[in-house]
Amino acid sequence: MSRPYDLVIENGTIHTPSSSFKADIAVLDGKISAIGGPFTEAAKRVDAKGLAVLPGLWHVHCHFREPGHTYKEDFQTGSAAAAVGGVTMCIDMTNNTPHPTTLEDYEMKKALVAPKAHVDYALYGGGLYPRTVEALAKAGAIGIKIFNTRHIKEVYPYISELGVLDHGILFELYEATRDMGLVASVHHDDPEWCKRLTFRDYIDKGRTDAMAYHESFSKGYMYGHGMVAGLAASLYYARICGVKLHVLHLGVMPKGANEMVHHAKYDLGQDVSCELELGTMFMNRAQMEKVGPRTYNWAYDPEAGWDAIKDGTADMIVLEHAPHSKEDVDPGWKDLFSVPLGVTGAQEYIPLLMNAVNEGRLSLNDVARLAAEAPARRFGIFPRKGVIQPGADADFTIVDMSREGVFRNEDMLSRTGFSSWEGMATKGAATHTIVRGTIVAQDGKLVGAPGFGRFVPGTAASA
Ligand SMILES: [Zn+2]
């Protein structure tokens, strides 16, 4: 060999979607060079004895709030939280100010965030104007994000001007997205239904405190049955259009959504995928009462979420990171209907996920599929990412399944300074977050520099 490897990960157990085996991994120039070993010549070694080596795990639902709302979060703080948690690749959402719905604003966002990212990232293009979708796709949008929703009181983040409630425009966005071969990722809703019933039974009766809000959520008023109704229309329009539809927020919706998606995928053969929001499965009543407005998660039926993994309805998993400042959300103790819906999840995602693995809810092979291979395939980045094989980016999440921890507000790197999961104990956490062969976080500490993370363009990007 003419030169030593840049990095060798040795003595660990590799977990892929289909198998687990002991092997060493050699990295050269940011790529996986060889698997097997032993590899004798290496500039740097990571001893993964007793540890699980996973393909770099994706966080597909980040709101890093840049530009426009950086007092809540920015790309540096958000991606730092993700890196420390064990995430190697983030996809960022579009409800910014200005929102990236035009080429000019998309390029501005790209330029702003580039010096700040700690991990690799992709950016959705904002779906609002069918005529701008082609330019966003060519500029590198990973997909087109569509807010088929509005907050019932028009409170951020579902800013009024970004909501697409006109199904004609929704359909034209699907056509334009289909023509570029991208995925249309949609937050579905029927906000007028939500609004009418929520006002009738809660707001007009003066029942607006945090517990009333969570009750309305569990009854399917706030972002509940209306989301399923929105999904029904969207699935049909997406099918006759032929666009690749990606359903956001499975697990937040009542399980009628699971049945519809399962039917579309397995009975109709529709090209539809969905991401399962784990937050509703991890949140419990005691935690919800403790953090109140610092979460929006409350499940109708947590078991339906686990079933969605077992029966193939869910393609990928995520723990939404939609942060807001304390000043934004804490008035929600009195009136949670009038503050933004927020939750933290970038830093807590992998520990909560590994805790679920330790509880026997899913296997590390499931995690490799649901949080790495599936998103990489769906967004067209496979096999460059999402897989441990020679030639792929050397992205790894190395995990100690016995490491215990408790989420503390003071340990959170998010600008919020709090965690929706404050006080919860977990078992299983990342020891190393490795992006293209470089360790960006280790043992809960950030070791990389902002700007190391690279923009990963979507499949329609101009060369
Ligand atoms: Zn979101």
- Give the list of residues 6+ apart from residue 365 with CB closer than 8 angstroms, or none: 15, 16, 17, 18, 19, 20
Q: What is the tens place of the pLDDT at every residue in 187-214?
A: 999 999 999 999 999 999 999 998 898 8
- Give the list of residues 6+ apart from residue 343 with CB closer than 8 angstroms, or none: 279, 294, 295, 296, 297, 320, 321, 322, 323, 420
Is residue 80 within 8 A of residue 413, CB to CB? The reply is: yes
Q: If you measure from the C-alpha of residue 294 to the centroid of ligand 1, how many angstroms do you get, rounded to a whole number?
A: 15
Q: Assign 152 a pLDDT band (cuts: 50, 70, 90).
A: confident
Q: If you measure from the C-alpha of residue 63 to the centroid of ligand 1, how many angstroms do you get, rounded to a whole number?
A: 7
Domains observed in the chain: 7-53+394-412+425-446 (2.30.40.10), 57-378 (3.20.20.140)
Q: Assign 52 a pLDDT band (cuts: 50, 70, 90).
A: very high
Q: If you measure from the C-alpha of residue 380 to the centroid of ligand 1, how many angstroms do you get, rounded to a whole number?
A: 21
Q: If you measure from the C-alpha of residue 396 to the centroid of ligand 1, how many angstroms do you get, rounded to a whole number?
A: 25
Out of 114-118, 151-155, 214-218, pick the least confident.
Answer: 151-155
Q: If you measure from the C-alpha of residue 348 to the centroid of ligand 1, how many angstroms do you get, rounded to a whole number?
A: 16
- Give the list of residues 6+ apart from residue 456 with CB closer than 8 angstroms, or none: 89, 120, 121, 122, 142, 381, 385
Mean pLDDT along residues 306-317: 97
Say if strands 396-406 and 316-318 run parallel, antiparallel, or are unpaired: unpaired
Q: What is the tens place of the pLDDT at every residue in 424-451?
A: 999 999 999 999 999 999 999 999 899 9
Q: If you measure from the C-alpha of residue 93 to the centroid of ligand 1, how many angstroms do you get, rounded to a whole number?
A: 7
Say yes or no to pLDDT of 2 above 80. no
Structure tokens at 65: 């709030």
Structure tokens at 247: 């359903």
Is residue 342 within 8 A of residue 328, CB to CB? The reply is: yes
Q: If you measure from the C-alpha of residue 196 to the centroid of ligand 1, how many angstroms do you get, rounded to a whole number?
A: 23
Mean pLDDT along residues 367-389: 98
Q: If you measure from the C-alpha of residue 62 to the centroid of ligand 1, how many angstroms do you get, rounded to a whole number?
A: 7
Q: If you measure from the C-alpha of residue 159 to the centroid of ligand 1, how many angstroms do you get, rounded to a whole number?
A: 12
Q: If you measure from the C-alpha of residue 156 to the centroid of ligand 1, how many angstroms do you get, rounded to a whole number?
A: 12
Q: If you measure from the C-alpha of residue 61 to the centroid of ligand 1, how many angstroms do you get, rounded to a whole number?
A: 6
Q: Assign 120 a pLDDT band (cuts: 50, 70, 90).
A: very high
Q: If you measure from the C-alpha of residue 77 to the centroid of ligand 1, how many angstroms do you get, rounded to a whole number?
A: 17
- Tokens 């998993």 -> residue: 317
Say yes or no to pLDDT of 100 above 60. yes
Out of 277-286, 395-404, 413-422, pick the least confident.
Answer: 277-286
Say if strands 24-28 and 31-36 run parallel, antiparallel, or are unpaired: antiparallel
Q: If you measure from the C-alpha of residue 76 to the centroid of ligand 1, how many angstroms do you get, rounded to a whole number?
A: 18
Q: If you measure from the C-alpha of residue 65 to the centroid of ligand 1, how many angstroms do you get, rounded to a whole number?
A: 11
pLDDT at 298: 67
Is residue 279 within 8 A of residue 297, CB to CB? The reply is: yes
Q: If you measure from the C-alpha of residue 124 to the centroid of ligand 1, how many angstroms do you get, rounded to a whole number?
A: 12
Q: If you measure from the C-alpha of residue 92 to the centroid of ligand 1, how many angstroms do you get, rounded to a whole number?
A: 9
Q: If you measure from the C-alpha of residue 185 to the centroid of ligand 1, how many angstroms do you get, rounded to a whole number?
A: 11
Q: If you measure from the C-alpha of residue 342 to the centroid of ligand 1, how many angstroms do you get, rounded to a whole number?
A: 9
Q: If you measure from the C-alpha of residue 108 to the centroid of ligand 1, how many angstroms do you get, rounded to a whole number?
A: 21
Q: If you measure from the C-alpha of residue 26 to the centroid of ligand 1, how many angstroms do you get, rounded to a whole number?
A: 37
Q: If you measure from the C-alpha of residue 336 to the centroid of ligand 1, how many angstroms do you get, rounded to a whole number?
A: 18
Q: If you measure from the C-alpha of residue 335 to the centroid of ligand 1, how many angstroms do you get, rounded to a whole number?
A: 21
Say yes or no to pLDDT of 11 above 70. yes
- Angle among Cα 221, 222, 224 to the nearest 5 degrees reads 65
Q: If you measure from the C-alpha of residue 72 to the centroid of ligand 1, how many angstroms do you get, rounded to a whole number?
A: 14
Q: If you measure from the C-alpha of residue 460 to the centroid of ligand 1, how many angstroms do you get, rounded to a whole number?
A: 24
Is residue 133 within 8 A of residue 125, CB to CB? The reply is: yes
For the full predicted model, state whether its pTM sits above 0.95: yes
Q: If you measure from the C-alpha of residue 319 to the centroid of ligand 1, how many angstroms do you get, rounded to a whole number?
A: 10
Closest by Cα among 54, 74, 53 to 63: 74
Q: If you measure from the C-alpha of residue 279 to the centroid of ligand 1, how many angstroms do you get, rounded to a whole number?
A: 12
Q: If you measure from the C-alpha of residue 274 to the centroid of ligand 1, how many angstroms do you get, rounded to a whole number?
A: 13
Query: What whole-number percentage of the chain has pLDDT above 70?
Result: 98
Say yes or no to pLDDT of 291 above 90. yes
